[in-house]
Structure 1
Amino acid sequence: MATKTQKKNAFYAQSGGVTAVINASACGVIQTARAHRDRIGKVYAGRNGIIGALTEDLIDTSRESAATIAALRSTPSGAFGSCRYKLKSLETHRREYERLIEVFRAHDIGYFFYNGGGDSADTCYKVSQLSEAMGYPIQAIHVPKTVDNDLPITDCCPGFGSVAKYVAVSALEASFDVRSMAKTSTKVFVLEVMGRHAGWIAAAGGLIEDHGIPVVVLFPEIEFDPQKFLARVDRLVKEHGYVTVVVSEGCHYPDGHFLAEQGSQDAFGHAQLGGAAPVVANMIKDTLGHKFHWAVADYLQRAARHIASKTDVKHAWELGAAAVKLALQGHNAVMPTIDRLSDAPYRYRIGVAPLAKVANVEKFMPRSFIKRDGFGITDKCKAYLKPLIQGEDYPAYKGGMPVYATLKNLPVPRKLPAFELGK
């Protein structure tokens, strides 16, 4: 644990797919660290995430103005660059973990704040374990972030609320369009959203039901049955003249094959997904003959800072700040959490979870959140989702466009020999 006589620098990195509010967490980390200069020296950021630590490509955030750091709160994407680089087991890739400790030692870093999802939680936990074994203790604190909302223990994850808001609003607006054209034209609109194993994002599309929109939601948690699905779509078109389908990219058949599987893998070894919407839309056209349009939200859903949830922005900043406070209190190998106290009014507190119980654990949609027929969300789910999409936190605008921060990202001089990744 760092003390007043052992002032240490901090290292912060962003991991995996970015979000509309991950920079708000960075803002919370940096602003809170600056408020405790008696305990924390400089905050260094990893250029392109953990790769920046491995290659000693560090960014000196102390050379950014207070106004620029504050502007991160309303700027989407990863201000320091992120990456999909997974540090594997200590047994097979010990060299990389030891390199991290060497870099931390060389730059007098005593705090490690890793902002990401499940894989980064695992890395953070392993770093905390190895650092003590190597005689150079690092207080490793994980800052939760994932649009998939699949980290355990915490009620929700920063990034999810804004994606949920984007999906719900986009599905509603597109549905109004389809409804206006249904008499002579399009009768089915299919929207594909992110969510490999958990259907939280797709669930947000189900909120349009409260606006009188006939909607079918396809979750990864529910095995896809083409016959039942087509029957439901046909019935809704006959009743309402049109229907909106929200499909998770992780929707799969009973044998486990994804509707959207492309036959390739990403950097984490996961099946590369993308294309569930056209599969579903063409299935409807070929079987039922209904004219359709489809869209894939893709990066738009996670980059849409202009329609970010105010609740989500607040969560993101607070959890970044909480990570620093936990470190200053002497915590290690933990993650700050959102602990919900009530739905209406929405109340919560900041809690803490041990990384040993977070790493490599996925949180799926409870069955009680999914309708019995598997094609929509329950009132219980709506009560969970609605507080998370509440409020608007618009960025400043100039000339009709949002004003987003671009950092100088000035480098920290290297002190160690070069290091090759993957060796």
Structure 2
Amino acid sequence: MRERLGHEFVTDWNKNELYLNRAKEAIDSIKDMDARSKVTSLQEDLFNHVKSKDTDKADEIFEELKEIAQEQTERLGEATAIVLFNYRFRDNGHRFREIEGIEDIPAAKQVDVDGETPEERVELLLATADWKETEFQDKMTSEIIDPMNTASSIKDLCEKYGIDSSEYVYDKFGNSVELIDPLFAFGNGTEKHILVKPRFGPPKSYQRTLAKEKEGIEKSGADKWIGLRDLNRVTLEFEDPLMLTLAYKALLKKFKISGLKNKFEWIHTDTYKQPPDIHMNLDLGDGWLVEVQLMFASILTIKKELHKYYDIVRAKNPRTILSPVFKTAKTNESLKDEEYEKLKTIIECNKEMDVQNQNFASMNVDGGGNGGENKRLREENESVKSENKRLKTFIREKMIDEANEILGEFEEEEFEEEEFGE
């Protein structure tokens, strides 16, 4: 069997090694520093010429910027295809096999809000999203993120959601499949206890939301406009295709799905115009729709770079890109890693203390040494659980801060169907 990758055809016997090597090269070269430097320099020139009202020179620089941005989006689209092949074939396709078959679900309409004008409706929509954010984060954490990250095996994870584990515990050769495969662990195996990372989006700006509301009404008509469904949103980041699949199935069990677009379907391609993911809208319980995206870690890394150039590609005139698209992000990865390690340690302590408490309780001793020890352990356990809860809250907040700093405003990452459609 022969398959195409880029301009080469490869056979089954050497494709895994080729995909792995090319994926690593693609990831290592995501940031083209020469192109970044050139764009920043041109944007500075553009800014100065617009200030001096030299429109001819500004238009010339504007076109040069758009040409560079288009070249970079094509390069990153090719890198996306290479990286995705790596996810697909890294273990002969066992852990990826169900993703392509996830079927689209037609989009439902967002909850109606009172308001005679778009401005009034947007004010109410944004206020509703603010009130819903805590509920949204709590539900995603308690129903999906925590159960997945504390699972002890594939069978344990499947049992939490009533999923038949028999399809996943063995590969097509009859070999046992482990919950954690070192090939699919975050941080090159340094974060083996983490199966999914949440990236909750920051609040939408009023002006951007109003513009999208008006645009939707203009294109679809007031009666057919289905509304804004991403005012509360999260990207769930995975390194393991099997965990992405099980997260999708868990979401089906826990929420009403009110829209789904599988952007992995066009898998046999040399390039991507949009970062592939599973794009879902969930009903939070009362008709209010939220957005959840299931995405691979390396694809998300490419997306961060891609959306910078996309800002230039979609620019209508020089004045829309006067601010530099490449800004220095201040992050603290070591702090994040340290907190993950603390969380892992505390969860393990909790489990150990729970076992000890159960052992002492089974003795049915109300007083004496064992009873007193049991009481002490319970008090320590409650203290550890309290610290565990605090750290989980801290990490969720840290993820939001990181989303703001590293990813920038999520609304900047939106890819319009007109220019970047499938």
Same fold (TM over 0.5): no
Higher relative contact order (CA 8 A, sep 6+): 1
Q: Which is richer in strand?
A: 1
Bigger helix fraction: 2
